[in-house]
Structure 1
Amino acid sequence: MLPWEFSEDDLKDSLEYYPDNTIDEIRATLVAFSYSSYYVPAMALLVIYCLFVGLILADGILGCLPRRAVPRWIRAHVMEAPLATKKHHVAVGAGVIRLPLRLQSIVVGGLFLATFVPIFCFYRRANPDLYYDHAWEAHLRSLLDRTAMISTGLLPLVIVTATRRALPSVSGIDFGNAMVYHRWLARFCAIHGLIHGIGWSVSEGLRGHYKKEFKDPYWNWGCAAIAMFMGLVFLSIRQLRVKAYEVFIALHVILALFSLVTLYFHVKLIDYAAWMYFTWVVEIAAAIWGLDRLVRWINKAYLSAGTSFSQPLTQAVVTAHGSDIYRMRVHLGASKVQPLIGGQQASLLSRFRLSPINKLSAGTSVRLTIPRLQFWSDHPFTVIDAGLVNGAESQGYVDLLIRSADGMTKQLATLLQSSDDKALEAGSGTAVDRTMNVVLEGPYGHWHSSVVKHDDVLLFAGGVGITFCLPIFVQAAAQSDARCKLVWAIRDFDIVDSVADQLIRLDEVLRAAGPRSSKPKIELRVTAGEFFDKAKEEVAEGVAELKHSATDSDNALSKASSSASSTPIPSPPDEKAEYVEAKKIESSSKRLTALAARLSGSMDLVAVHGRPSKRVADHFEPHSDRTAAVIACGPASLCDDTREGAIFALRKGEWRDVEYVEECFDW
C-alpha cells in the first residue's frame, strides 16, 4: 500500500467513529486528507529525486563530451558565470551566504520550487469534512504532514551530496558542486523540519495539549531531532566554520549521527502505516552515512599504516620556512604515491574513481590528522609534491605546505617553535626538523589533465594556493610547448624557499629537453609594500651580478647560498624589531637572488609589487587560433577576480577557447 492510500480497515474504523455519516462522506474525507497530507508531498519528493538523477546524468554527459560540444555562450553566460554580481566565493549577506553560479542556481532554484511550492498549493478539503470544523485547521494539519515528509525525504540526498566518495565515484560530479547542493538541500531540510515543529507546537498549544505532549516519547524524539538539525545548520555558518574548522568537522559528525538516531525514533514511534516508508528512508540515509564513514576509515588505515608494531602510524618530517610556513614530508610506501613528472597521472586519477585507495599525487587533496595535536578531527591540505625517495625505490613521499593560522596549524606552529627554542638553548644554534606520527585520508579531487593540453596556461596562486597551481605549472612546462605563466601573490619571500627544490627539478628537466618556443614565467606579486620596496633593489642587483660573474648557474646558486648562510649576522645594537626585520629581508633577498639566477637558463622569475591584473590579455598576447587555460587557487577574492578575467576573455573571443579551473579556500 502506497503512503497516500488508505485501507478498508481505515474505512471500517472511521465508520465506527462516525456512525452518523454515510460511507461516501467518510470516503471523501479520507481521500481529501490522504491527497493533501501524503500524495502531494510524495509527488514533490518524486520530482526532487528525478531532478537530482537528471543532474547526475547531465553532469556525467557533460564531463564526457569535448569542450567544443558545449557552445561558448552557454559556458560564458550560464555554466561559469556568477549569479548576479561578480561575487561567487566572496560571501554576501554579512558574509553568511555564498551565491551559486548561474547553472548551480538553476538547479538549486528547481529544487527550491519542488520543495516549497507544495507548502502553498494543492490543498483539498471534503465537504463535509469529518475531521476538522474549520478550513485553516485542515490546511494546517496537511502543511505539517507535508513538511515532515519532505524534510525526511530530503535526508538521503543531503547525506549523499556530502559523501566524499559515493557521489563523485558514481557520477563524476565535482565535489565543489556537490557541496553547493548539499548546503542548500540541508537548509531546505532544516527549514521544513522547523516549520513542522513550530506548527505542531502551535496546534497543540491552541488545543491546550502542549505540556501533555512532552510525556509522549515520539514528541521528545522529534524535538531532539529538530534541535540537532538546527545545530548543524547554525554551526555551518561560514564565519564559525572557518574560525574553528576542526571543531566544526568534529561537531558536524557528532550532530549528524544524533540527527539520524533521533529522527529514526521519532518516525518509528508514530506507528502509522504511511510513515513505515519514511522509517526506511531514514535507514537508507543512515546506511549511506555509515558506508561512507567505513570507506573513509579503510582508506585511512591503508594510507597511514606504519612499518612495524613499534611504529603503527606513518611518519612525517616538518621543516620550517620562515616564521609561519612549514613543509611537511609524509613518508609512504612507493605503491601509494604517483610521481608528477613521467607518471601516468591522468589515467590513474580519472573522472570516475570507485576505489577507496587511489594513489596520492600532486594537485590532489588529503585530510591530515596529527594525533598528538588533534586526534578527534582532521584538516584539508593539497599535495604540492609526490614522488619516490632517491636510492629507496620502495619508499615514497608526499609533501604538504602549511601556513600557520588557527586551529591545528596554529598548534603545529607552537609545537615546532618550542622545539626550536629547546634546540637553541641546547647550543645547536639552528632550528630542528620535527618528526611526528600522522594519519592521512585521500586523495580527493581529480587531476585536471585537460588544462596542460592548451596552447596558453595561466595560473594565479595566492600564498599557499601554490600547492594546487605549482603541480599544474610543472606538468604544463615539462610536457608541452605551451606558453606558461604562474602569477603568485605572496607577502614575503620565505614561502618561495619552500618550493625552491621543485623549481630546480623543473629547471633540470627543461634544460635536458632543449630549447622551446617560449620560456615559462613566474611572476611573484609581493603584496607587502614596505617589504617589497626594501628587497626589490637587492634582488634586481643580485640577479644581474650573478648572471655576469658566475661561470654557470650552479656556481651562482652556490655562491649566493654560501653568502646567505655563512655571512655572520652581527648582534643587534638593541632589540628593535626593525633591525630583525631588515636582516630577514636581506637574507630572503639573497636566497631569491640565487634561485632566480639558477633558473634563468630555463625560465624567468621576477618580483613585482601590487595585485596582479585579472585580464588574461595582460599576461599573454591574445590569439583567436589558440586555446587558453586559466587556473586559480587562493583566497575567495582572488578566485572571483580570476574567474571574471577568464569569462571576459571567453565572451570577447580573445582565444578560441578558454577553460577555467579553480580550487578556492572556502571550506
Structure 2
Amino acid sequence: MRFLSVSIVLSAGVSLAADIPESARCVISVAEALSHIRFAGSLNSTYTGYICTNRLHTYSLYAAIKLYCSLSNIEPGLHVLDGDCEKEGFKRIPYKDVEPQLSDEYLASLRVVEFGEVAKRIRLPEPVLISGNYFWRAFRTNRAWAFETWAHHAFGNASYWFWGVVLLCGVINRLYEYFLAGRLLRWRYDQEGHYSLARSAPRRFASAFLTTRHWIRAYLILPPAIGDYHQRLLYWCAVPTRIEAIVIVLYYLLSLALTIVGYDVFKGNLYWDDISTQAWRYLSDRAGIMSYANLVLLWLFAGRNNPFLWATGWNFGTFNLFHRAVARVATIQAIIHSVGYTVLTLRVHSYLSYWPSAWWYMGAVGTIGMGLLLGFSSIWLRRNYYEVFLLIHIALSAVILVGLFIHTSIFTGGYDKYLWPVVIVWLLERAARLVKLVHCNIYLRRNGKKPLISKGTAYYDRSSNLIRLRIVPGLGTLVPRPGQFYYIYQPLKLRGYESHPFTVGSWSQHIEGEPYHFRPVSPGRHKIEMPISHSLTFWIRPFNGWTRRLQSECISQGCAVQSTFLLEGPYGVSIPLHKYENVILIAGGAGFAGVWPHIEEHLRRSCGPVLQLTEDTPHSKGLPIPATRTRNMTLIMASKQRELYNELLDGEKLRLLSQMGIRTEFYSTSYSTCSSPSAEEALDETSQLLSRDTDPIHGHRALTSIPIKHGRPNITKIINHSLYDAYGDEEPVSNSGLQTAVLVCGPAAMADDTRAASELPKVNIRS
C-alpha cells in the first residue's frame, strides 16, 4: 500500500506545493529532505506534532537552512512551516533563539548524511546536517512537484482560453453583422431603386474590407475540409467545413502538446527515483485533471440551450462538432490516466488491493463509461436508432458523473470544482427547456377560464408520403422567424418524453372556431372580437422512430389524427436574407419547409413599412429604403415524388410566387410509377401536374397547372444564370457592393452540390 499512501499524501499537498511563494522553496525543500529521517526523543504521536516539537529535528532543520538558504528566503519559508504547526496547536522553537548557536564550528561538527543513508526505522540520537547533494535533490523534487501541480490545472484551464478565443471571434463577428455591417455599407438608393456603394475613400476601404471578408467566407468558412463532402458522409464520418476543421485540429494539437510536455523527470527524485515512474505519474495526473477540465465544455456544447448558440449565431451542428471533438480528447485523456495508474500499481504489486475501494473502481467505471459513450455515438446509431442512442447517452452520462464524484471523493472536494459546474450547466439547460415548454404551450386566461394548451392535427398524404402537422400553440402570440425550428413532443403517448426538431414550414393567424386563414368581412356585418392565435405548419417526411409511429397512427385513423402536441422553442438563428440583393432558394423534397418561410418573409417585408436611410447622400436624400433589399429571388425545388407538389403547392402559393416575380423551377427526379412520359414530354423536358386549390367563392377544389421538369437540377448552371440576371457582366462586390445569398434545404448530396457551386469569385454567398 506504499504507493497509495504516497499518492494521497502528495495529492493532499497539492495546494501547499502550488501556493507557496518561490522565496519559501528553499526552506520547504530542507523540511522535505528531513521528512525521510527520524530522530529520537519525540513524545508526540502525530507527525505534525513530531516535526514541530522534536528538538533534534528542529536543530537539524535550522542548521541546513543556515547553510543552504539565503537570509531573504528563511523568513518566508519558516512562516509557512510555523503556520502548519500553529494550525494544530503546536509551536516550534523560534529560529532567532537557535541561530546564535549555529556557528561554523557547530555546523562542521554535525554528521553529514546522504539520502537513503539512514533507514526510517532508525531514530537518530543527535542533530545531523543533510549533504549538499541531498538538499539539491530535495529542492529539485519539490520544485518539480510544485510545477507539475500548477501545470496540471493551468494546462487544463488552457482549454477554456482556447474555446474562449474561438467563441469570442464568433461573438465579434455576430456583433459586426448585427450592428456594424449597415454602417460600413452606406448605400446609395436612386430613383430607379438601385443600390451602390458611395465612392469616397471610406467607402473604398469598406469595399476592400468586404472583399477580404468575402474571401475568408468563400475559402475558409463555407468550403468543406475534404473535397465536396459536408452534409454527405465520407466513410461514415462527418466532414466539417475548413474553418471548423482548423479549429478542431488546433484544439487536438493544443491538447496533445499540453498533455505530453513540461515534465521535469530526473534520476534521484526523492519520491520516485526511477524516471519511468515519474513520467507515468506526472502524465497520469495531467491527463486526468485535463479530462476533468474538459467536462464542462463537453456538457455546454451538447446543450440545445447553449447561450453561445445565440451569441455567435452558429448553428447547433457546429457546436455538435465541437462537442464530439472535446469528447474524444477527454476520453483519450481519461484512458491515459487509467492506463498510467494501472502501470504504476502493477509495478509495486498493489493493483488488486485497490479494487475493493469505491474511489478506485468508480474511476474505472468513469473511464469505461466514457469509452462506451464514444463508441455508442457513432453516426450510424444516431441516424438509424436515435432514441436508443439518446437513452444510452443520458444513462451513461449520469453514471459517469456520479462515478467521478466518488472517484475523487478522497481528496475532500479538491476536484469538485470541475464537476459541480457540469451539474449546474445540465440543470440550467433542462430548466430552460421546461421554461420554453410552459411558455409555448400553456396560456393562463383570466376570469377563471380554462387555460389554453397547444393542440394539433396531423394529416398524412399517401401519394407524397408526407405528414402535414398543424399545431395551434397555447401561446397565441407565438410567431417564429424564418429558419427557426421547434422540438415537438406528443406527451400523451407511451414515449411522450421524446422530442424531435422540425423547421416551421409556414404559419398563419387563426381565430377560434374559424378556418385558419382570414376571409374578408362582408359589408354590413360587424366584426366580432375573438381570441386570435397562430397555427404553425410542419411538413414531415416519415422515417424511423416517432415519425414512423405518427404515420401509422394517421393511417389507422383515416390519414388524420388530432392530438396534443407540445412545442419547445424557438431554436436556430434566422438568416437575414432581406439584406441580400439576389436570393436563390433551393429545396429538395420536404426541405421546402426550410425555404418557404423566407418567401413569406419576403412578402411581408415587400408589402410592409419602409426603412429610413442611416445617412443621406446626394442620390438618396428624401428617399425611403424598402424593408428588404432583395430584388431578385429564385426558387428551385426537386422531389422524387411528383405528387409532393400537390401537397405543398396550392394555387394560392403559386399565385403568390407569380405576383412576387419569383422565378421558379420544379423538378421531378424520378418518373411516375404509374405512367411514363411521352416522346414530346421527354423532348420538352416538361410535364404538367395539377395542384389542388380551394376556390375562395364556391369552396370546391380547383385545379392549377404546375410545370415540372424531369431530371436533377443543374445547381451550378442555375446559380450562374441567376447571377447573370442580377448583375450581368459586372463584378458585384468590387463595383456595386451587391450580394447573393444561396439557401439550400434538402438531401445531403443536394446541399453539398450547392455548396460547391457557391464557391464563386467576388460574390458573397450565404448557404
TM-score between both structures, scaled by the size of structure 2? 0.67
Matched residue SS, 2:168: helix
The answer to whether residue 145 in structure 2 is matched with residue 27 in structure 1 is: no
Written as runs of structure 1 = structure 2, the 5 A alignment for 1:18-417 is 21=115, 22-36=134-148, 38-66=149-177, 69-70=209-210, 71=212, 72-92=214-234, 94-95=235-236, 97-165=237-305, 166-271=307-412, 276=414, 278-305=415-442, 313-322=453-462, 324-333=465-474, 335-338=476-479, 360-371=480-491, 372-390=493-511, 392-417=530-555
Is 1:224–1:262's contact at 8 Å kept on the other side of the alignment? yes
Matched residue SS, 1:484: strand
Written as runs of structure 1 = structure 2, the 5 A alignment for 1:582-597 is 594-596=703-705
- 1:607 is aligned to 709
For residues 39 and 260 of structure 1, the distance between their equivalents in structure 2, rounded to whole angstroms, comes to 25
Q: Deviations over 1:525-559 (max 9, x none)?
A: 21223549736879999998999xxxxx9879989
Bigger CA drift: 6-15 or 120-129?
Answer: 6-15
Deviation at 1:195, TM superposition (A): 1.6
Is 2:695–2:701's contact at 8 Å kept on the other side of the alignment? no
Is 2:639–2:669's contact at 8 Å kept on the other side of the alignment? yes
Question: What letter matches 1:384 in structure 2?
Answer: G
Question: What letter matches 2:383 in structure 1?
Answer: V
Bigger CA drift: 474-483 or 318-327?
Answer: 474-483
The answer to whether residue 765 in structure 2 is matched with residue 659 in structure 1 is: yes
In the alignment, which of 420, 435, 440 is matched to residue 567 of structure 2?
440
- 2:667 is aligned to 525
- 1:587 is aligned to none
For residues 426 and 743 of structure 2, the distance between their equivalents in structure 1, rounded to whole angstroms, comes to 33
For residues 546 and 99 of structure 1, the distance between their equivalents in structure 2, rounded to whole angstroms, comes to 40
Q: Deviations over 1:288-338 (max 9, x none)?
A: 111111111111122233779998852110111225311111111454422
Question: What letter matches 2:599 in structure 1?
Answer: F
For residues 100 and 181 of structure 1, the distance between their equivalents in structure 2, rounded to whole angstroms, comes to 10
CA RMSD after TM alignment = 3.4
Question: Which blocks of at least 5 consecutive residues in structure 1 are unaligned?
Answer: 339-359, 421-430, 548-552, 563-593, 598-604, 662-667
Matched residue SS, 1:252: helix
Written as runs of structure 1 = structure 2, the 5 A alignment for 1:551-570 is 561=701
Matched residue SS, 2:758: helix
In the alignment, which of 732, 744, 747 is matched to residue 632 of structure 1?
744
For residues 667 and 657 of structure 2, the distance between their equivalents in structure 1, rounded to whole angstroms, comes to 25
Count of residues paired in the alignment: 565
For residues 37 and 552 of structure 2, the distance between their equivalents in structure 1, rounded to whole angstroms, comes to 74
Matched residue SS, 2:743: strand
Is 1:246–1:378's contact at 8 Å kept on the other side of the alignment? no
For residues 389 and 554 of structure 1, the distance between their equivalents in structure 2, rounded to whole angstroms, comes to 18
For residues 439 and 29 of structure 1, the distance between their equivalents in structure 2, rounded to whole angstroms, comes to 62
Question: What letter matches 1:406 in structure 2?
Answer: N
Overall identity of the aligned pairs, in %: 20
For residues 261 and 586 of structure 2, the distance between their equivalents in structure 1, rounded to whole angstroms, comes to 49
Q: 1:522 to 1:247 in 2, by over 3 A?
A: farther
- 1:461 is aligned to 587
- 1:489 is aligned to 638
For residues 634 and 268 of structure 2, the distance between their equivalents in structure 1, rounded to whole angstroms, comes to 76
Matched residue SS, 1:596: strand
For residues 757 and 741 of structure 2, the distance between their equivalents in structure 1, rounded to whole angstroms, comes to 12
Q: Deviations over 1:256-310 (max 9, x none)?
A: 2322222122122344xxx71x311111121111111111111112223377999
For residues 359 and 689 of structure 2, the distance between their equivalents in structure 1, rounded to whole angstroms, comes to 80
Bigger CA drift: 371-380 or 406-415?
Answer: 371-380
Deviation at 1:619, TM superposition (A): 4.5
Matched residue SS, 2:225: coil
Question: What letter matches 1:595 in structure 2?
Answer: T
Q: Deviations over 1:437-465 (max 9, x none)?
A: 1222111102111x233222111212221
Deviation at 1:161, TM superposition (A): 1.5
Matched residue SS, 1:147: helix
- 2:556 is aligned to 418
Q: 1:306 to 1:334 in 2, by over 3 A?
A: closer
Question: Which blocks of at least 5 consecutive residues in structure 2 are unaligned?
Answer: 1-13, 39-113, 116-133, 182-206, 515-529, 607-627, 733-737
Is 2:485–2:502's contact at 8 Å kept on the other side of the alignment? yes
Q: 1:60 to 1:161 in 2, by over 3 A?
A: same
The answer to whether residue 589 in structure 2 is matched with residue 452 in structure 1 is: no
For residues 368 and 453 of structure 2, the distance between their equivalents in structure 1, rounded to whole angstroms, comes to 38
Matched residue SS, 2:408: helix
For residues 220 and 380 of structure 1, the distance between their equivalents in structure 2, rounded to whole angstroms, comes to 39
Question: What letter matches 1:248 in structure 2?
Answer: F
Question: What letter matches 2:655 in structure 1?
Answer: D
For residues 467 and 236 of structure 1, the distance between their equivalents in structure 2, rounded to whole angstroms, comes to 28
Is 2:592–2:637's contact at 8 Å kept on the other side of the alignment? yes
Matched residue SS, 2:459: strand
For residues 589 and 688 of structure 2, the distance between their equivalents in structure 1, rounded to whole angstroms, comes to 27
For residues 720 and 370 of structure 2, the distance between their equivalents in structure 1, rounded to whole angstroms, comes to 48
Q: 1:315 to 1:125 in 2, by over 3 A?
A: same
Deviation at 1:620, TM superposition (A): 4.4
Deviation at 1:636, TM superposition (A): 2.0
TM-score between both structures, scaled by the size of structure 1? 0.77
Q: 1:90 to 1:143 in 2, by over 3 A?
A: same
For residues 110 and 412 of structure 1, the distance between their equivalents in structure 2, rounded to whole angstroms, comes to 44
Question: What letter matches 1:596 in structure 2?
Answer: S
- 1:617 is aligned to 720
Q: Deviations over 1:83-110 (max 9, x none)?
A: 2322122222x31x22222211222122
For residues 365 and 287 of structure 1, the distance between their equivalents in structure 2, rounded to whole angstroms, comes to 26
- 1:504 is aligned to 652
Question: What letter matches 1:404 in structure 2?
Answer: P
Deviation at 1:79, TM superposition (A): 1.8
Bigger CA drift: 553-562 or 622-631?
Answer: 553-562
For residues 610 and 375 of structure 1, the distance between their equivalents in structure 2, rounded to whole angstroms, comes to 39
Is 2:687–2:708's contact at 8 Å kept on the other side of the alignment? no
Q: 1:443 to 1:250 in 2, by over 3 A?
A: farther
Structure index of larger Rg:
2
Is 1:333–1:396's contact at 8 Å kept on the other side of the alignment? no
